[in-house]
Structure 1
């Protein structure tokens, strides 16, 4: 997982996916104040993903703000050939637990709701996942991105340990 630099972000063609829009209300003595929150995921379907949460008086403004925040939080995720992930990974954020697992060619994305939208935005095509605990969409997305950011390929492990790839694979 690497955070993208400013000049790298400009070159990307990001696709935006709206996960949810929520109307919220602040009640005071005199009246009710309505506003909107929006949750957006942006990704290039080639290993880059980010999420944003925006709040505004109008729904369209909240969506725009969320999209701008998503651009600022872009991460590069390791994807291996076949559109899957290198190994199983589990992550927890607040009450949401997400478990992602590599799948064989032709399986597709087996995931629910918010987790599916993150995996599609990253560009994964063959992944199994399970969400446990909280079904809060914001926490599920954060847990999914946390799990994806923990993924490491054989090359990165070899670099960290300072040994050859063959030594890792053989034992």
Structure 2
């Protein structure tokens, strides 16, 4: 069953820790795992032997997998933004056939989660680890992503502040057809 999952190493580092006995070398990995149909997770592993560190990271990624809500199985429901450290990330829904137009590390995360039509912009620090964590903060927020209200009466972001009521002509243009008056 685990062979069906998409797994990719997002980051790898060779870390050196100075102790009284000398330098202790270890390997660190950040691994992404997803099934391409809404399940996605990431994990970290650190060990002196690279193969064991990779196994630890993959096990942590599988353990941290969570379902991601998708609109029409291809994009996000609405524009979402989050900030983590100096990294600011905005995910926008796009029409069918648009594709994934985003940061390369975000591209891997979104593809593993099963998204097909999204544009994303990263402002500030483009540190891969912060970009990935910020993306997971948005995607795995469940029923209450940041800025969308808390689900128990808390306020959400006002998306159309100051627009007011549409006139008849604006409504006809938006709907693509003439309005029929029901009054006689």
Q: Which range, TM-score by smaller chain?
A: 0.7 to 0.9
Distance in 2, Cα, partners of 1:152 & 1:37: 32
Distance in 1, Cα, partners of 2:42 & 2:59: 9
The corresponding residue for 2:117 is 126
**Relative CO higher for 1 or 2, CA cutoff 8 Å, sep ≥ 6?**
1
Distance in 2, Cα, partners of 1:48 & 1:145: 12
Give 1:24's match in structure 2, choosing from 5, 15, 22: 15
Distance in 2, Cα, partners of 1:127 & 1:138: 20
Unpaired stretches in structure 2, ≥5 consecutive residues:
153-184
The corresponding residue for 1:115 is 106
Q: How many residues align?
A: 148
The corresponding residue for 2:25 is 34
The TM-score, its normalising length taken from structure 2, stands at: 0.71
**Root-mean-square deviation (CA), in Å?**
2.6
Distance in 2, Cα, partners of 1:136 & 1:48: 24
Distance in 1, Cα, partners of 2:57 & 2:142: 26
Where do 1:84-163 residues align within 5 Å? 84-150=75-141
Q: Give CA deviations for 1:118-153 in whole Å, capped at 9, x if unaligned.
A: 111101011100112222222211110111134759
Change (3 A) 1:30 1:82: closer
CA drift at 1:30:
5.1
**Contact residue 85 and residue 151 of structure 1 kept, 8 A:** no
Change (3 A) 1:145 1:12: farther
Q: Which has the higher helix share?
A: 1
Change (3 A) 1:123 1:80: same
The corresponding residue for 1:169 is none
**What SS does structure 2 have at the residue aligned with 1:53?**
strand
Give 2:35's match in structure 1, choosing from 44, 48, 70: 44
Change (3 A) 1:151 1:69: closer
The TM-score, its normalising length taken from structure 1, stands at: 0.76
- Higher gyration radius (CA): 2
CA drift at 1:11:
8.7
Q: Which runs of 4+ in 1 moved over 6 A?
A: none
**Contact residue 73 and residue 114 of structure 2 kept, 8 A:** no
